[in-house]
Amino acid sequence: MESNSRNDLTSLHEARAALADRLITPWWYHPALGALVAGLALAYGLIDHDVWRLLSLFPFFGGCALLVAAYRRATGIWINGNEAGPARIHAWALGLSIFIAMVLTSTVRWQGWPEWIVWAVAAAVFVFTVAIGRRFDRAYREHLRSQP
């Protein structure tokens, strides 16, 4: 009985390690997500008309849906960031950075501050999205491999 349990645990650990090896995000995924986030920040900071700003959400969410589909095609699964164990902190950091970027770029537009600030925020959120996305990937794969 104990031998079967040990074999089952070994098999489970090997399956998790194999899954971690399979979860290699395509090189272009995080830059594409960063471009979507930066584009949304630019739209909210540079577009004056409320309807056009609202409509900018459609290409953003449509692009996100295409990225999810592409990730599923590449890896065979999709990972919910909220259910990613310790890696979820990176998903939350990304969500918070998007919120902050939207608030900052909208504030720049409302206050009439220089437009270059919007571009700087968009560039910063692009870089942060790429970096945090890669950290999420590493943390999630590490989590899978460390499970007994």
Q: What is the pLDDT of residues 96-116, one digit of tens each?
A: 999 999 999 999 999 999 999
Angle in degrees, 0-180, between the axes of helices 88-111 and 116-146, rounded to the nearest 10: 170
What mean pLDDT do residues 23-42 have? 95
Nearest one of 131, 137, 129 to 74, comparing CA atoms: 137
**Is the separation of the CB atoms in 108 and 118 below 8 Å?**
yes
**To which residue do tokens 């004056």 refer?**
48
Please determine, for residue 13, whether its predicted confidence score (pLDDT) is greater than 80.
no
Round to whole Å and give the CA distance between 38 and 144: 31
pLDDT of residue 21: 75
16 vs 106, which has greater pLDDT? 106
Q: List, in sequence order, every beta strand (DSSP E) within the chain.
A: none
pLDDT digits (tens, 9 = 90+) for 45-97: 999 888 988 899 999 999 999 999 999 998 888 888 888 889 999 999 999 99
In the prediction, which pLDDT does 84 show?
83
